[in-house]
Amino acid sequence: MQHPLITGSRGLVALMLIIAIATVAIAEPPPPETGRSPLAPPPMGAMTWLPAPPVEAQSQMPNLLVNGNFDDPAYPFYWRYPNHFVAGGWIRWWIHLTVLPEYDDARSQRPYYDGGHAQVYFKWGHTYEAGIYQVVTGLTPCTPYRFTMWARNHSLDGVLPHARIGLDPEGTQLTPSDDDCAVKTGLPPKTVWSREQTALFTWEELSVEAEPLGTRLTAILYAHPEPPNDGRTYYFDTIWDAGRLITGTYPGGRMPEPLSWTPSGFITNVTTATVLNTLVIEWDTPAPASTQVWYNIVSPTTPISFTGAYTVYLPLVMKAPQYAYATALDVTPVTHHRAVIGGLQNGQIVRFVVLSRRASGGACVTEVSEPMEVVISGIPPLSHVYLPVVSREDSNP
């Protein structure tokens, strides 16, 4: 007797569905073997690791890292004693007098997030506090930069990977060279760290933002696996891939708010001028800094009569003022600054402060001027020219 599921056309469809499901199940990567590192070469006949899905669409901004995805053929993996392989453009590091993990390329039989390579380091039986780093140069001081990297960690259940990424705003060279790679004085204290990866056997994108105090940032990859104290022998694997460093933005396109609204004297020579329906604001700083104006526009409740074109410039006394608008942020470090507010009308009052952000005292700070007020006047009225309409009659009937 035939099985009812495989009789007739419906039975054929059901049979094909069963075969398809079985095929998909066979294609799934095998689960990790307990007590054996997935980074080890697979045994004879076993399937190799499959890469994660492709990286999603990234920002069109240029990647400021050298070989951030570990796939650049111009920066191949290079050999280091005793038999390690480190991605070109990067330097390995580990804490002095601690265990040195083994560094290697992901190669074809090991997991990678995109491309065909990833930086991995691993150890059997001993935990480590180690990673790789890169000093990025040619940056703009006190401008936000965003660093992202995909992380993956393998071990037995119960292990916390403690994997994270960081940006050191001082651009510190962590090690004397790429031969002497032990960190002897600790990691830079001003490093800004991402959250930690705490899950095993999964890709997670970590992210952190920081502002360089000069023209350098140090991008740091860090892992310090923590096993439970249960007497088992553990292995530890850390994998990194698809890193990016891009120029970031401040929330809402505004500089961070000043820590104090009392001017320090850094901003001087504030001047204003009206040109048609725009207000041009200029000022000086003794050192290069960025440029922005925060402002409000107030329309008078009663008409104001003007006898001529003039601008009134009044200092105000305010505490923690709130400004609804901001000019476009210009992060180019200059000493003479200029910002423009457009679309104004006669009689409107523009209340504003000018701001410049710079490095001071080992941090990036936003400097502010005294609050100012300008009454807009002298904008010429629009001229309307009416042209007669000329109708041309067709001479042909």
Chain centroid, CA 238 distance in Å = 22
What is the domain range of residue 302?
252-375
Same-domain check for residues 214 and 266: no
Domain for residue 150, yes or no?
yes
For 248-270, give one letter per residue: b (16+ CB within 10 A) or e: eebeeebbeebeeeebeebbeeb
Q: What percent of the chain has pLDDT over 70?
A: 75
CATH assignment of the domain containing 305: 2.60.40.10
Average pLDDT of the residues in 142-151: 97
Q: Based on the number of CB atoms within 10 Å of its own CB, is 86 exposed (0-12), middle (13-18) or buried (19 or more)?
A: buried
On whether both 177 and 84 belong to a single domain, the answer is yes
Last residue of a domain, one of 232, 248, 264: 248
Q: Is the pLDDT of residue 8 over 80?
A: no
Give dist(CA 150, CA 167) in Å, integer. Answer: 15
Q: In terms of domains, do 272 and 218 share one?
A: no
Using the predicted structure, report yes or no on whether residue 22 has a pLDDT greater than 70. no
Note whether residue 148 is domain-resident. yes
Selected residue with higher pLDDT from 28 and 123: 123
Q: Are residues 168 and 260 in the same domain?
A: no
Total count of domains within the chain: 2
187 and 264 in a single domain? The answer is no
Q: What is the CATH number of the domain that holds 230?
A: 2.60.120.260
Q: Are residues 225 and 292 in the same domain?
A: no
User: Is the same domain home to 204 and 261?
Assistant: no
- What pLDDT, on a 0 to 100 scale, did the predictor assign at position 59? 58
Q: Is residue 82 part of a domain?
A: yes
Per-residue pLDDT, 306 = 47
Q: What is the pLDDT of residue 381?
A: 76
Q: Is residue 3 part of a domain?
A: no
* For residue 45, pLDDT beyond 60: no
Query: Would residue 327 count as lying in a domain?
Result: yes
Structure token digits, residue 242? 């698809």
Both 130 and 79 in a single domain? yes
What's the pLDDT tens digit per position in 298-327? 987 655 444 444 444 455 544 567 999 999
Helices marked H in the chain:
8-27
Is the whole-model pTM more than 0.85? no
